[in-house]
Amino acid sequence: MSDDAVSPEEVRHVADLARVDLDDDEVDRFTEQFADILEYFETLDEVPEVDRETDLTNVMRPDEERPSLESEAALGNAPETEDGYFKGPNVS
Amino acid sequence: MTAQTAQQGDLVTVIGLEVHVQLETDTKIFCGCSTEPSDEPNDNVCPVCLGLPGALPVLNEGAVEAAVKIGKAIDADIPEETRFHRKNYYYPDLPKNFQITQYDEPICQDGTLEIAVEGERRTVAIERAHLEEDPGSLQHVGGGGGIDSAEYTLVDYNRAGTPLMEIVTAPDFRSPSEVRAFLAELEEVLEYLGVFDAERDGSLRIDANLSIIPEAEIDGDDTDEIGMDALEAANRTEVKNISSHKGAEKALAYEETRQKNAIQRGRAVEQETRHWDESRGITVSMRSKEEEKDYRYFEEADLPPLRVSGWKDEIAIPELPAARRERFQAEYGLSEEAASKLTSTKQVADFYEDVAGEFDPDLAATWVADNLLGELNYRDIEITEIEGRLEEIKRLVELVADDEITAKNARETVLRSMLDDGRMPDEVVKEDGLGKTGEDEVEQAVVEAIDENPDAVGDYENGDDGAINFLVGQVMQKTGGSADPGDVNQLLRRELEG
């Protein structure tokens, strides 16, 4: 796969959707890396097609309450919290 | 649509809706956390609805049943197979960075809902209705409270994962008042189905697309047929953040005027998303969001497909408000207005039928539609709040039906005292001495009044008809005012002349 597979504009757009701010050097670097990553996926073309073993449908659970996490555990991994809330930057 | 010089009369408003309805299940759509609103943030959360790595969603059967009920009520197709997709966008109300929703294979397709607007029947086409998860709720803190100027964001995931049904209509509305009528009807239907709690904050959220097109593009007088090219050509605005019928009517009336003014002044209407600011009564432009392709929809591999078209036959739904309104008119001889009032919620309609089954349907209609709903409305109480006391209300109607108490006393004294002081009907009647006096007692009083007032009796016998009024007054006094003066008058005359 050539480097044309991903354009710098596409990288900027994807970065924008992910709210990631990239400078020009980073855009160049990611353009190359995106292309490399996509190339690895081509390996999958060599995998023979196989059918799924079972056709699962209608996997559901009854509408019954299960215990939730304790607040302390729920917030435990958050870098910042306030009064039981997760706290993050302004996201307008 | 640029620089259009048409007069306002030549323009037509076209509106389509996306209505988000919270389904009233006990637990969230993909995990067993409670959907009950909590006073504490992040109280009803687990690894699934927090989007922790490795957690797997499992679909709530109750949410699917509710969706099928809605599908039946709007006469929609439930396809053989339906599935879930991931809608990717990056915002902290979604802990996973995607929302599980349905894309090209929704659970309900091609339904309709009939509404009445100013006495005229209209059928609104519903293109699709699909299941999805509600995001969490954000608070923008500091910097004056506005979203743009906030210093930081607080996130509560209690709401995240609450089952939502998104109901998408065709662009079939021609005015904000039609939208309001549709939302009212939809809410009634959802309440009848028992899948929706209107009292819950944020249970109904509406996005509306509005555009203004030349009237010539409407084919014939069937307002359902509009030239799709014209609709494509006209720029539309999507108005978000509407949360009630009234809000929808106000927001869309504002937006309709704003667009018509722009067109009249020869300015272009921008295709954009606008935010309804309820407190200021205006819509404001929002930063443009992603295009559909940016959501990068792809199949949710953690949820196998659903095959529930057969459920349509298995799950029963109650008689819906429109059908019940018609039946009430036919079966109980009610006016359209009374039938509308009595079918406004399922609880009211059920109670009416309960009362009308035992007593005169007209008397029952007066009592339920006028007296009870009137007094409840005055006190801002819902019928569901006095569910345990409906038997007592029925007893009160029985007292009136059996002529044991006057209608006036029943309404003005007993009913009010029941609602305000929590008293029982028989208790009020007895303690306040409101019982209509029995016939024997009245006759006894008539005999006594005649015996005790020979002068008045003499006057009457000598042709002074006015003397009878004095005797009526005496009888009324003896019976504590609970006898019927007309009856007393007749009894006296019969006794004196007999």
C-alpha to C-alpha distance for B155 and A75, rounded to whole angstroms:
11
* pLDDT of amino acid B146: 67
> Can you name the residues that pair with B126 across neighbouring β-strands?
B111, B169
Asked whether residue B303 falls in the same domain as residue B325, the answer is: no
pLDDT above 90 coverage of chain A, percent: 61
Instruction: Label the pairing between strands B120-133 and B163-169.
Output: antiparallel
* pLDDT of amino acid A44: 87
Does this complex have an ipTM over 0.90? no
Given its phi and psi angles, is residue B159 left (phi above 0), alpha (psi -120 to 50 degrees) or beta?
Answer: alpha
* pLDDT of amino acid B218: 66
Q: How far is B217 from chain A (nearest CA, A)?
A: 38
**Nearest of B255, B254, B253, B260 to residue B213 by alpha carbon:** B260
Is there a contact between B429 and B435 (Cβ–Cβ < 8 Å)?
yes
**Nearest of B84, B67, B60, B88 to residue B162 by alpha carbon:** B60
Is there a contact between B32 and A61 (Cβ–Cβ < 8 Å)?
yes
**Nearest of B99, B74, B210 to residue B164 by alpha carbon:** B99
**Main-chain dihedrals φ then ψ at residue A84, nearest 5 degrees:** 85, -5
Structure-derived torsion over alpha carbons of residues B228, B230, B232, B236, reported in degrees to the nearest 10? -120
**Nearest of B359, B358, B327 to residue B340 by alpha carbon:** B327
First to last CA, chain B: 92
Asked whether residue B418 falls in the same domain as residue B277, the answer is: no
C-alpha to C-alpha distance for B324 and A72, rounded to whole angstroms:
51
C-alpha to C-alpha distance for B241 and B247, rounded to whole angstroms:
9
Task: Flag whether A16 is in a domain.
Answer: yes
Select from A12, A65, A70 the residue whose CB has the most chain B CBs within 10 Å, as the one to mutate to test that interface.
Answer: A65
Task: Flag whether A52 is in a domain.
Answer: no
C-alpha to C-alpha distance for B321 and A82, rounded to whole angstroms:
46
* Residue A59 DSSP one-character state: -
**Number of other CB atoms surrounding residue A54 within 10 Å:** 7
Biggest CA–CA distance in chain A, Å, is 54
C-alpha to C-alpha distance for B13 and B260, rounded to whole angstroms:
9
Task: Flag whether A18 is in a domain.
Answer: yes
* pLDDT of amino acid B2: 41
Contacts of B304 in chain A (CB under 8 A): 56-59
> Can you name the residues that pair with B155 across neighbouring β-strands?
A86, B138
CB contact under 8 Å between B46 and A66, yes or no, is yes
B278, B313, B348 — which closes off a domain? Answer: B313
Task: Flag whether B125 is in a domain.
Answer: yes
Helix, strand, or coil (residue B303): coil
B431, B451, B485 — which closes off a domain? Answer: B431
Task: Flag whether B1 is in a domain.
Answer: no
**Main-chain dihedrals φ then ψ at residue B305, nearest 5 degrees:** -60, 160
Is there a contact between B408 and B454 (Cβ–Cβ < 8 Å)?
no
Is there a contact between B180 and B245 (Cβ–Cβ < 8 Å)?
yes
What CATH number has the domain bearing residue A18?
Answer: 1.10.20.60
Give every CB contact of residue A43 below 8 A, 6+ residues apart in sequence: none
Q: What is the pLDDT along chain B (498 residues), one digit of tens a residue?
A: 444 444 445 889 999 999 999 999 999 999 999 999 999 999 999 999 999 999 999 999 999 999 999 999 999 999 999 999 999 988 899 999 999 999 999 999 999 999 988 878 899 999 999 999 999 999 988 877 666 778 999 999 999 999 999 999 999 999 999 999 999 999 999 999 999 998 888 899 999 999 998 877 665 545 455 667 777 778 889 999 899 889 999 999 999 999 999 998 988 888 889 999 988 999 998 876 567 788 999 999 999 999 999 999 999 999 999 999 999 999 999 999 999 999 988 999 999 999 999 999 999 999 999 999 999 999 999 898 999 999 999 999 999 998 888 888 898 889 999 999 999 998 888 887 777 766 667 888 888 888 899 888 989 888 888 888 999 998 888 887 778 888 888 888 888 886
* pLDDT of amino acid B232: 73
**Among B residues 70-109, those touching chain A with beta carbons less than 8 Å apart:** 81, 88-92
**Main-chain dihedrals φ then ψ at residue B412, nearest 5 degrees:** -80, -30
Contacts of B287 in chain A (CB under 8 A): 92
DSSP B374-419: HHHHHTT--GGGGGGGHHHHHHHHHHHHTTSS-HHHIIIIIIHHHH
- Is the pLDDT score of A3 beyond 50? no
Which H or E run includes B136?
Answer: none
Contacts of A73 in chain B (CB under 8 A): none
The residue type of B351 is: F
Triad B210, B213, B214: Cα angle to 5°: 160
Residue of A nearest to B302 (CA): A59
Q: Between B40, B59, B62, which is nearest A71 by CB? A: B40
Helices (runs of H) and strands (runs of E) counted in chain B? 18, 14
Asked whether residue B210 falls in the same domain as residue B333, the answer is: no
C-alpha to C-alpha distance for B386 and B393, rounded to whole angstroms:
10
Token duo for residue B321: 């408000």
Contacts of A69 in chain B (CB under 8 A): 45-47, 50
Total domains in chain A come to 1
Give every CB contact of residue B190 below 8 A, 6+ residues apart in sequence: B21, B70, B196, B198
C-alpha to C-alpha distance for B178 and B238, rounded to whole angstroms:
17
C-alpha to C-alpha distance for B260 and B281, rounded to whole angstroms:
17
Task: Flag whether A76 is in a domain.
Answer: no
* Residue A90 DSSP one-character state: -
Is there a contact between B320 and B314 (Cβ–Cβ < 8 Å)?
no
Q: How far is A51 from chain B (nearest CA, A)?
A: 15
Asked whether residue B328 falls in the same domain as residue B267, the answer is: no
Total domains in chain B come to 3
What CATH number has the domain bearing residue B450?
Answer: 1.10.10.410
Task: Flag whether B3 is in a domain.
Answer: no
Is there a contact between B62 and B30 (Cβ–Cβ < 8 Å)?
no
Asked whether residue B476 falls in the same domain as residue B334, the answer is: no
> Can you name the residues that pair with B242 across neighbouring β-strands?
B206
Asked whether residue B424 falls in the same domain as residue B445, the answer is: no
Tokens 């609880």 appear where? B347
Task: Flag whether A26 is in a domain.
Answer: yes
pLDDT digits (tens, 9 = 90+) for A24-80: 999 999 999 999 998 898 888 888 887 766 788 999 999 999 999 999 999 999 999
Q: How far is A83 from chain B (nearest CA, A)?
A: 8
Asked whether residue B342 falls in the same domain as residue B464, the answer is: no
Range of the domain at B489: 439-497
Range of the domain at A11: 3-46
Is there a contact between B457 and B493 (Cβ–Cβ < 8 Å)?
no
Helix, strand, or coil (residue A85): strand
Helix axis angle, B176-193 to B321-332, nearest 10°: 80
**Number of other CB atoms surrounding residue B115 within 10 Å:** 21
C-alpha to C-alpha distance for A23 and A27, rounded to whole angstroms:
6
* pLDDT of amino acid A51: 73
